[in-house]
Amino acid sequence: MTETIHEKVKKSLRYSVLDGTFNAIKVGFGESFFQAFATLLKASDFQVGLIGSLPQAVGSVVQLWSQKFIDLFDSRKKFVLIGVFLELLMYIPIMLIYFFGTFKAVYLIIFTCLYWAFGSIAIPAWSSWMGDLVPEHHRGRYFGMRNKICGLASFFAMLLGGYVLQLFADGFVMRYAGFCSIFLLAFISRIISWFYLTKKYEPEYSIFPTLEFSFIDFLKKAKFRNYGLFVIYNAVMNFAVYIAAPYIAGYMLYELKMGYLDFTIVTATAVLVKYLMMPVWGKACDRYGTRKVLALAGFLMPLVILLWTFSTNFWWLIFVQIYSGFAWAGFEIASFSFVFDTTTTQKRALCVAYANVLNGVAFILGALSGGIFIKYNIFPFSGYLFVFGLSMIIRYAASIFFIPKLKEVRNVHHISYQGLLMYIIEASPTVGFFHHITSFRQKKRG
């Protein structure tokens, strides 16, 4: 019996959850520990920062050629499958890096750059593909649900990865074996993810040459377009974030001298909370609009980096990461949904590619700036603390300047920012859990 297109789409959305779940497991076992692996290889603070930024920058810039490859293969699906397959192969040289001579940290930077390049060049094609599969008015809910499942998978993979590293913490050879073990698990997980990608249906995709436009044309018109202003805002925000973000791992491992398990728990806490909260923020996007959610999250998120400067206490950092996950969930799901709301199917892959090129430039400029401030610190306090404060100031400046210029493109329900925040808090999993407990006790007493 021949499947209808509706049935193919429903199956594909389920396969997409499975693909995303195993990809998230790959992230939890794999790239989450690249910077920690660099410290084992005696990388400097600057090299650790580069591993947290340069690969992402390379991965963003190569997307400039994504549309050309989509046209070449005449299929978004084929292109995505090839990119993902080449990405997962990069775990092999990363695991064998011990045998690559003296400059191991340099080789790690090279291989992680290739890893990100292969995985990222297919992102515009994947975004265009998924945009055709997910119904417009359910995007926030679907991606919020998908991201929640993926986040839980990534969280438990990270915890297990940290536990494995702690078990293998005795001596260089044992620690190296520990990293190889978790990278092997990442490799296997990505193979399974790739398998589910092969099973997804690709709707018919037509190439419209007349709708293609150059990167220079995109830049010239960006400040006059809703999507263009969002792209500039996102790039400035990423510059601010990457002044500090690549150095948080070094701060924990070098400055605070955390063990692998504590490092993993602190890092994974933000991942868990972020993905638990994404369905809540996603529903808010569907109901109240992505612009409203982006505006609220754009003012909650910058505070995260300042909170890192208040204390080095482990439990304080756990609290910071809980708040971080809460705020970043809103910012990421709103940013993701805003792209779909403000681009058409025909232009989406090219628009995403150009946006990510700007983000790549922002990543590397931010990371280089942060690295210089840390290395040539002239202040009587830690250079890490200075870049954290600077990052926060630029984040707030970006939100204050750009958010009033963005426009909502869908008809949505009105709500105040205070009301939206209360809606998010009341709908959060933790508050919901205590509400159900309270209701159960009241019914039992009644």
- 42 versus 93: which is more confidently predicted? 93
Distances (CA, A) of 365 to 240, 358, 441: 9, 11, 55
Query: Is 445 part of any domain?
Result: no
- Do residues 270 and 324 lie in contact, with contact meaning Cβ atoms separated by under 8 Å? yes
- Do residues 230 and 342 lie in contact, with contact meaning Cβ atoms separated by under 8 Å? yes
Query: Is 438 part of any domain?
Result: no
Confidence of residue 212 (pLDDT cuts 50, 70, 90): low
Residue 223 confidence (pLDDT) above 80: yes
Q: What is the 3-state secondary structure (H, E, C) of 303-353?
A: HHHHHCCCCCCHHHHHHHHHHHHHHHHHHHHHHHHHHHHHCCHHHHHHHHH
Residue 91 in tokens: 């775990």
What is the model's pLDDT at position 208?
56
What is the model's pLDDT at position 200?
93
Residue 192 confidence (pLDDT) above 90: yes
Query: Is 77 part of any domain?
Result: yes
Distance from first CA to last CA of the chain, Å, rounded? 54
DSSP string computed for 266-291: HHHHHHHHHHHHHHHHHHHHHHH-HH
Q: Which residues contact 408 (CB under 8 A, 6 or more apart)?
A: 289, 290, 291, 292
Q: Which of 257, 251, 264 is nearest to 164 (CA)?
A: 264
Query: Is 277 part of any domain?
Result: yes
pLDDT (tens digit, 9 = 90+) per residue, 119-157? 999 888 898 888 888 887 777 788 878 988 998 899 899
Domain count along the chain: 1
Residue 206 confidence (pLDDT) above 90: no
Rounded CA separation 357/62 (Å)? 7
Residue 183 confidence (pLDDT) above 50: yes
Rounded CA separation 334/337 (Å)? 5
Query: Is 27 part of any domain?
Result: yes
Range of the domain at 140: 5-199+213-431
Confidence of residue 237 (pLDDT cuts 50, 70, 90): very high
Mean pLDDT taken over the chain: 87
Query: Is 141 part of any domain?
Result: yes
Confidence of residue 256 (pLDDT cuts 50, 70, 90): confident
Q: What is the pTM of this model?
A: 0.76
For the four alpha carbons of 123, 129, 133 and 139, in that order, the dihedral sign comes to positive
Residue 371 confidence (pLDDT) above 80: yes
Confidence of residue 207 (pLDDT cuts 50, 70, 90): low
What is the model's pLDDT at position 16?
94
Query: Is 440 part of any domain?
Result: no
What is the model's pLDDT at position 2?
64
Query: Is 75 part of any domain?
Result: yes
Rounded CA separation 177/164 (Å)? 10
CATH at 122: 1.20.1250.20
- Do residues 91 and 284 lie in contact, with contact meaning Cβ atoms separated by under 8 Å? no
Q: Give me the mean pLDDT over the 227-239 stretch.
A: 94
Q: Which residues contact 234 (CB under 8 A, 6 or more apart)?
A: 335, 355, 358, 359
Q: What percent of the chain has pLDDT over 70?
A: 94
